[in-house]
Amino acid sequence: MAKYHRNNVGSLVIDRHGGGNFRLWSAFSGVAFRRKLLDTMRCGISRHRYEEDSDVRSPEQQPQQQQVSESKRNNGGSETLSEILNSSEASTENSLEETDEEAKRKIKVFEELQNVVKKFQLEEEGSQQMEAALDVRRLAKDDSEARVTLAMLGAIPPLVGMLDSIDVDFQIASLYALLNLGIGNDTNKSAIVEAGAIHKMLKLIESPENSPNPSVSEAIVANFLGLSALDSNKPVIGSSGAIPFLVKTLKNEKTSLQAKQDSFRAIYNLSITPTNVSEILETDLIPFLLNTLGDMEVSERILSILSNVVSTPEGRKGISNSSDSFPILIDVLNWTDSPGCQEKVTYILMVMAHKAYGDRQAMIEAGIASSLLELTLLGSTLSQKRASRILECLRVDKRKQISEGNNNYSGGVGAVSAPICGGSSSGPNKQDLKQVFEEEEEDMMSEEKKAVKHLVQQSLQNNMRRIVKRANLPQEFVPSDHFKSLTATSTSKSLPF
């Protein structure tokens, strides 16, 4: 018969007849104990599990269970504990070994980098320095930690100093080592510029014996691209005279494709800083970019540069003064299907239309209305919004002109007021002035622009016919004159349907 009592630590002890066999249970209240028994009976837990929980065994099971329990107490428990201790010791030893291996590896790598930097100090100019520059280029190419460590050990100043060498191989090795040190590391980019690398690179370009060397030029362009990615370097590079060199490289027909792409990207990086726009305008870059817009491979990149240039008053003036700038930009809207190009062109035109009345008139003369109307129907969401903004600016100007025409119209030399009410023969009404303005606009537009505008009007009318058909209206529906006038002048904000 088992007896239950509590020991001095609050645990429930089950005593058995026949000796000191007992089991210690976790302490809980009597209410909780009764609840546990009740839940066990209600949930239908198997007798076997119940007997295991309560240490109650059938007469057949008890001797066998006692043997197993004694075996566990005598052997199993110690074996399990020994296995746990052994596995814990083994895992600890493995982790310590891995830590030691990692520490040894890092020490070995550090010593290797340290030996590389020491080579710069062995000779004034010789094979050791060349070997060190090549090692820096190799080690820093794909390892960000090596870039940090090499810079901390002082690899940048001797590499910049190698740019003074008259040996082209030394120059190229140093340039590509510096390029790899700056990959993804703003601290190194800043340190390279502070060490005077920009001035020395430009000095190499200005040197007559090195300027024909395409390998040196390409390496310098690549460095300008990498260094110009850091905002604090942009004003330094822009004011150093690097922009004319990049423009010259861009325009040179003998320049490799990679060097041209790097030049485009470097100029774009520099154009982000407003102070560099004036440096760009001093070159003939804007006309060159506008005339190169037909090249699909670089059109979006060119428009990105122009989007930065147009952000300053000087830049807007430079674009406006360029020959055929507006016809070229508007023509891009007609032939490109790229959403990126459409959005950038509409941004440039929107900024210029918002800032200057003269630019708006030049846009109207170039036939921008039909192109913008088509874009509001077929363009991306952003280009549609920007096209609508431009059309709104142009519509405001048109209203002002009509208003001024009503107030200042003269049959002869003197100005007379237009009649308030229609029907008078003393002067034209508002509708007549509007028609005159539209006819003048039509005359200024090329045949191609007229064709595009006609297609847009047809598209609007066809849409209305489809709507009428769905509404079960008479099939012989013919657009009225009022509807035709709406389709001829409507914008995305006031479409007739």
Interval 34-44: pLDDT, tens? 565 556 555 54
Residue 363 has pLDDT above 50, yes or no: yes
Average of pLDDT values for 19-29? Answer: 48
The pLDDT of residue 409: 47
pLDDT interval class at 88 (50, 70, 90): low
- Dist CA 381 CA 376 (whole Å): 9
pLDDT at 438 over 80: no
Contacts of 136 (CB under 8 A, 6+ apart): 116, 150, 155, 159, 177, 180, 181
Specify the pLDDT at position 1. 47
Q: Which of 361, 362, 277 is nearest to 311 (CA)?
A: 277
Task: Judge whether residue 63 has pLDDT over 70.
Answer: no
Buried-exposed string 341-350: b where 16+ CB fall within 10 A, e elsewhere: bbbbbbbbbb
The answer, yes or no, to whether residue 242 has pLDDT greater than 70, is yes
Least confident of 11-20, 69-78, 456-465: 11-20
Q: Which of 343, 356, 332, 329 is nearest to 387 (CA)?
A: 343
- Least-confidence region, from 103-117, 118-132, 150-164, 288-302: 118-132
The Cα–Cα gap between 427 and 433 comes to 10
**Average pLDDT over every residue of 199-209:** 82
The structure tokens 């009318």 sit at 461
> How sure is the predictor about 219, in pLDDT bands with cuts at 50, 70 and 90?
very high
The mean of the pLDDT values for the chain is 75
Query: CB within 8 A of 5, min separation 6: which ones?
Result: 12, 13, 15
What is the tens place of the pLDDT at every residue in 313-331? 999 999 999 988 999 999 9
Highest mean pLDDT pick, 88-102, 211-225, 445-459: 211-225
Angle, alpha carbons 257-263-269 (nearest 5°): 140
- Amino acid at the residue 438: E
What distance in Å separates the CA atoms of residue 260 and residue 491, rounded to the nearest whole number? 40
Tell me what pLDDT residue 402 has. 58
Over residues 210-217, mean pLDDT: 76
Q: Give the span between the Cα atoms of 285 and 267, in whole angstroms.
A: 10
Phi, psi of 121 (to 5 degrees): -95, -5
Each residue's pLDDT tens digit, 382-408: 999 999 999 988 887 666 655 555 555
| pLDDT for 462 beyond 70 | no
| Residue 385 vs residues 69, 346, 372, 382: alpha-carbon distances, Å | 83, 9, 10, 5
Q: Any idea which fold 105-195 has?
A: Leucine-rich Repeat Variant (1.25.10)
Q: Distance between CA atoms of 143 and 140, rounded to whole angstroms?
A: 5
Backbone conformation region of residue 22, classed left if phi is above 0, alpha if psi is from -120 to 50, else beta: beta
Rounded Cα gap, residues 487 and 56, in angstroms: 95
Task: Determine the pLDDT at residue 278.
Answer: 94
Closest CA to 434 of 410, 461, 411, 406: 406
| Position 30 confidence tier, pLDDT thresholds 50, 70, 90 | low
Please, what is the end-to-end C-alpha distance for the chain in angstroms?
Answer: 95
Please tell me the least confidently modeled range out of 28-32, 189-193, 316-320. Answer: 28-32
Whole-prediction pTM:
0.64
Which pLDDT belongs to residue 109?
A: 84
Q: Which helix (H) or strand (E) covers residue 137, if one does?
A: helix 127-140
Which residue is it, tokens 């995305």?
492
Residue 420 has pLDDT above 50, yes or no: no
Q: Mean pLDDT throughout 371-382?
A: 90
Give me the pLDDT at residue 194, please: 95
The dihedral over CA atoms of 146, 149, 152, 157, expressed in degrees to the nearest 10, equals: -30
Q: From edge to edge, which strands make up the β-sheet containing 12-15?
A: 3-6, 12-15, 22-25
Q: Where are the domains of the chain?
A: 105-195, 327-404+449-473
Phi and psi torsions of 15, nearest 5° = -95, 145
For strands 22-25 and 12-15, give the pairing.
Answer: antiparallel
Q: 489: how many CB neighbours lie within 10 A of its CB? A: 14
Q: Taking 70 as the threshold, does the pLDDT of residue 472 lie above it?
A: no
